[in-house]
Chain A
């Protein structure tokens, strides 16, 4: 009922979307966390603010990975070509 070419292409594309989509944000989040830890080490009294800002920034970067996940989910479960 589903064209096997479309099915296999969608599966491969979904895998690539999630895989490649997590490279950039992963690097970015690592850098942000390292700078945050550095900041806390320099000024321990500012830990509350630094942690708050860090969490906020991590969530923004996480969103970029999630975009890739959404594309993968659409391809697998709500495929417009199937």
Chain B
């Protein structure tokens, strides 16, 4: 804590705490309220942006302008991610899922770093990026697991389970383990990166409250954006791999 006394008033310039949460209770469930609040704000922001971006579209307008142009760029970017990983034929139906993952993670990371959450005072704990909570990232990773199983089963039916004995029956434990390590690594990669960014910035601000933490904050913005891209790319890659089968394309096989 940095508590200088300025003109006789005790002020609190910097403090760092980890692990305090704002608990909400729904019957038997206890949830982290601060994570839910910021998640809802992020979802609201993305929805509002999408609505504004599409409301100004006019039927006779060939060249989009302004905000609509920006939203179309975002859509094309997400379509590009899905197309690269899943392939020309089937990528259209997975664009909403991959796009939602990318936009939610990207916007929540950047909101967590840029929006001055400290202005909203909570009784316990404080508002931060929702992806900095392991529960959020595990939920997203389990969604991806569910998605790639669904993709494989719906496209290939029960033949999908032959992948366990694909190259050789001795590799069965490896593929079973892969089913567990995929969501584990996805969730921990995202959680670790975002929490590490927040902690590093927090500790820097604790030590030197002005100006010096800025390069680290910008680095944090950059790495959190990359992590959103990585999560979406890997999700699309797992879906594409489940639909095609192992070893078909030389993508970034993790």
B-binding residues in A (CB < 8 A): 53, 55-57, 59-60, 62-63, 66-67, 69-70, 73, 77-78
Contact = CB atoms under 8 A, between A and B. Distances in A.
B235 to A, nearest CB: 14
5 contacts: A56-B230, A62-B223, A67-B188, A70-B191, A70-B195
Interface in B158-209: 185, 188-189, 191-193, 195-196, 199
Interface in B208-254: 223, 226-227, 229-230, 233, 252, 254
Contact of B254 (A60, A66, A67, A70): A60
Contacts of A62: 193, 223
Which applies to chain B's interface (DSSP): helix, strand, loop or mixed?
Answer: helix
A56 to B, nearest CB: 6
Interface of B: 18-19, 185, 188-189, 191-193, 195-196, 199, 223, 226-227, 229-230, 233, 252, 254
A14 to B, nearest CB: 13
Given A56-B230, A57-B252, A59-B230, A77 B193 contact: no
Contacts of A69: 192, 196
Contact of A63 (B185, B195, B233): B185
